[in-house]
């Protein structure tokens, strides 16, 4: 730990700003336009997910009570489901329209935390852990960033202390997500997913410190659904109650 670089709070603020730019671009310029400057806005948005994944692994390492942490995330995932689907015009009841983007990334972040708990559970045999993790991958497939977020979180946690391995593992899984996006959703935006690599210098600058303001986690819990509700209002004002991305 040192005083140089970026602390956890600063990295989360950067991720929140990047996420907001990405989501506003999605509702103002819907259905994956390929204008270079709009694509550029979504490239900025790729900074967000790796930071959120990284700090789930960090949070698990530092938490004194993973059950309380998991409960907060689960409640957050439920609230965020409705906010996320409202933002982008996706039905609240999953799988009415697609198997993709049926709920927010918070669903995968929650299950990523549970996967870490399972992986560290001494009472479970290896085959039991494998079965449970496969089950988690199945139930997170439908969310934003899909089960890839779970796998990336596990990679980051497993290789804690070796930044190169953490980032290499994360990039491997994110590349798989990019390939799926390229084939099944949109080729240009499949390539856009590869720009998660831009988050690596930010994460490398992490100084291991949480930051002096303890209210950051509560700010995020409020800000995430709130900004999505605002995005939904903008979507309806501009286009009516229509979907603006895959999943709707």
pLDDT given for residue 3 in this prediction:
63
pLDDT at 1 exceeding the cut of 80: no
pLDDT given for residue 212 in this prediction:
85
Distance CA 40, CA 225 (A): 24
Decide if 138 contacts 154 (C-beta within 8 A). Answer: no
Decide if 143 contacts 88 (C-beta within 8 A). Answer: no
Tell me the domain boundaries of the chain. 8-239
pLDDT at 229 exceeding the cut of 90: yes
3-class DSSP state of 152: helix
pLDDT given for residue 2 in this prediction:
57
Decide if 92 contacts 59 (C-beta within 8 A). Answer: no
Decide if 174 contacts 152 (C-beta within 8 A). Answer: yes
pLDDT tens-digit readout, 93-146:
999 898 889 999 999 999 999 999 999 999 999 999 999 999 999 999 999 999
Which pLDDT band holds residue 230 (cuts at 50, 70, 90)? very high
The CB density around residue 137, as the number of other CB atoms within 10 Å, is 17
pLDDT at 242 exceeding the cut of 60: yes
Phi, psi of 15 (to 5 degrees): -65, -40
Q: What is the DSSP letter of 89?
A: T
Residue showing tokens 């991720």: 15
Mean pLDDT of 219-225: 95
Q: How far is CA 154 from CA 128, 137, 147, in A?
A: 16, 12, 11
Distance CA 123, CA 173 (A): 28
pLDDT tens-digit readout, 138-193:
999 999 999 999 999 999 999 999 999 999 999 999 999 999 999 999 999 999 99
pLDDT tens-digit readout, 23-51:
999 999 999 999 999 999 999 999 999 99
Cα 5 to its chain centre, rounded Å, is 23
pTM over 0.85: yes
């Amino acid at each position: 730990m040192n005083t140089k670089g970026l602390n956890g709070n600063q990295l989360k603020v950067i991720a929140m700003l990047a996420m907001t730019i990405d989501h506003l671009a999605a509702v103002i310029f819907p259905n994956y336009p390929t204008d270079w400057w709009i694509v550029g806005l979504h490239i900025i948005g790729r900074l967000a997910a790796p930071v959120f994944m990284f700090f789930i692994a960090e949070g698990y390492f530092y938490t004194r009570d993973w059950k309380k942490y998991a409960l907060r995330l689960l409640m957050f995932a439920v609230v965020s489901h409705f906010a996320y689907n409202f933002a982008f015009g996706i039905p609240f009841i999953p799988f009415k329209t697609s198997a993709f983007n049926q709920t927010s990334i918070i669903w995968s972040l929650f299950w990523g935390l549970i996967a870490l708990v399972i992986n560290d559970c001494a009472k479970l045999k290896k085959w039991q852990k494998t079965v449970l993790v496969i089950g988690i991958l199945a139930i997170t497939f439908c969310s934003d960033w899909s089960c890839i977020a779970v796998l990336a979180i596990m990679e980051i946690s497993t290789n804690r202390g070796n930044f190169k391995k953490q980032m290499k593992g994360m990039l491997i899984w994110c590349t798989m997500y990019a390939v799926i996006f390229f084939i099944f959703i949109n080729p240009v935006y499949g390539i856009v997913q590869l720009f998660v690599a831009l988050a690596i210098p930010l994460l490398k600058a992490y100084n291991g410190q949480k930051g002096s303001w303890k209210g950051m986690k509560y700010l995020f819990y409020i800000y995430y659904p709130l900004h999505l509700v605002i995005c939904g209002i903008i979507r309806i004002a501009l286009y009516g109650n229509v979907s603006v991305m895959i999943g709707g």
